[in-house]
Amino acid sequence: MTTAKRDTYTPETLLSVAVQVFIERGYDGTSMEHLSKAAGISKSSIYHHVTGKEELLRRAVSRALDELFGILDEEHARVGTAAERLEYVVRRMVEVLMAELPYVTLLLRVRGNTGTERWALERRREFDHRVAALLKDAAAEGDVRADVEVRLATRLVFGMINSIVEWYRPEGPDGRSDASGASGVSGAGEREVVDAVARLVFGGLRKAS
Amino acid sequence: MTTAKRDTYTPETLLSVAVQVFIERGYDGTSMEHLSKAAGISKSSIYHHVTGKEELLRRAVSRALDELFGILDEEHARVGTAAERLEYVVRRMVEVLMAELPYVTLLLRVRGNTGTERWALERRREFDHRVAALLKDAAAEGDVRADVEVRLATRLVFGMINSIVEWYRPEGPDGRSDASGASGVSGAGEREVVDAVARLVFGGLRKAS
């Protein structure tokens, strides 16, 4: 973390710092002391903005959840065949994941020890069910294979999409991805990732013959 | 954890307990005290078996890595077209993941703070590269689509497979999966999961027309 002291602190910047600390130390392992140090402001200044770390967690995961649920209200998620809507939702999920990377990462790591965590898990489950319902409709309309059970397919597709948080890093100003180590999908741009996911989720690896 | 005291402790049972504790508390968050409590034996008894927690971690991730690399030596991973070998490897990866669930789960959570963790990450990377090479060969042979960059495709496919550790739980004696909560793919048997992954990875969701 390279967070310098700042003169003015907004709830927004505090949230962004808190999310980084939660991701690095885990929510359970984060104290107000850690947050205060990382933000470079006193604990009492933090309490001026929020009631405590659980409120920060709630705001952070709400941001991710609002973006995800927002997808379902978009026109292309409501109009068209179920398969078309599903493909639109899958693409947009990947976009939201990349645009809101730390917030979605935190959401995916929530495990359910506090009220806020249980609430976040419940909302995630609700979102999963909405997407599973689309998949079910697409299968009923004959556009999606029926030989993989809907919930199992939903889990596997979400698994592929969510795994992106493990390696995707936004491109830096030099145009290269700063993805830390691993096999380094260097320079994989947002568009490339969205297209790759859509192609693999719907068409698979096999070459269309 | 419901680990009762035992009269005799073997390195194998100690390893199995340690893996559970590492997964629950994180490797960094686990002390010899935690291991001693969970195993129901004294710290000095543990030191009779191993030099410390890092050795337990190394043994645990080695078990997962040995099983994974073992796949690549199996006949069907060496004979046939690259696409056939790739499909075989993907299926076997899912099987190994389910058969060695806690060991693979731990391997996937390793983050790289100690020498053993860095070594495990390096070995994982090597395995990824071996599979990516198969994918590349399959594309060169014309059996796999060429419009998704090989490393990106490898990451996404591994993402789907590895996500199984988040929800898969072996079937209990009552024939039902004891998958904890979530949307509950209850009763998804090993064979069903292996087939689902193979179908989605190679054919995607879209119905073959």
Residue B25: which CATH number?
Answer: 1.10.10.60
Interface test with A, best of B118, B205, B206 (most A CBs within 10 A): B205
**Cβ proximity of B158 and A164 under 8 Å:** no
Residue A171: which CATH number?
Answer: 1.10.357.10
Same domain (yes/no): A94, A171: yes
Is the pLDDT at A79 greater than 70? The verdict is: yes
Query: B158 lies in a domain?
Result: yes
Domain that holds residue A39: 11-49
Same domain (yes/no): A34, A96: no
Residue A159 — pLDDT band, cuts 50, 70, 90? very high
Looking at the complex, does the CB of residue B126 fall below 8 Å from at least one CB of chain A? no
Query: A5 lies in a domain?
Result: no
Please list every residue in chain B whose beta carbon sits closer than 8 Å to the beta carbon of residue A196: 148-149, 152-153, 156
Same domain (yes/no): B25, B125: no
Query: A106 lies in a domain?
Result: yes
Please list every residue in chain A whose beta carbon sits closer than 8 Å to the beta carbon of residue B152: 185, 188, 192-193, 196
Query: A56 lies in a domain?
Result: no
Same domain (yes/no): B148, B80: yes
Q: What is the pLDDT of residues B143-181, one digit of tens each?
A: 999 999 999 999 999 999 999 999 999 876 554 444 444
Same domain (yes/no): B100, B182: yes
Same domain (yes/no): B96, B126: yes
Looking at the complex, does the CB of residue A180 fall below 8 Å from at least one CB of chain B? no
Same domain (yes/no): B137, B173: yes
Q: What is the pLDDT of residue B188?
A: 75
Q: What is the pLDDT of residue B209?
A: 58
Give the residue from chain B lying closest to A28, CA to CA. Answer: B25
Same domain (yes/no): A79, A102: yes
Same domain (yes/no): B42, B71: no
Same domain (yes/no): A108, A24: no
Is the pLDDT at B12 greater than 70? The verdict is: yes
Closest partner CB to A160 (pick from B147, B159, B199)? B159
Query: B209 lies in a domain?
Result: no
Same domain (yes/no): B161, B195: yes
In chain B, the number of structural domains is 2
**How would you class A121 by CB atoms within 10 Å of its CB: exposed for 0-12, middle for 13-18, buried for 19 or more?**
middle
Query: A1 lies in a domain?
Result: no
Contact B202 A200 (CB under 8 A): no
Q: Which residues 6+ apart lie within 8 Å of B121 measured at CB?
A: B110, B111, B112
Bridge partners (DSSP) listed for residue A206: B144
Single out the residue of A125, A98, A114 nearest to residue B167, CA to CA. Answer: A125
> How much is the ipTM here?
0.89
Residue B187 — pLDDT band, cuts 50, 70, 90? low
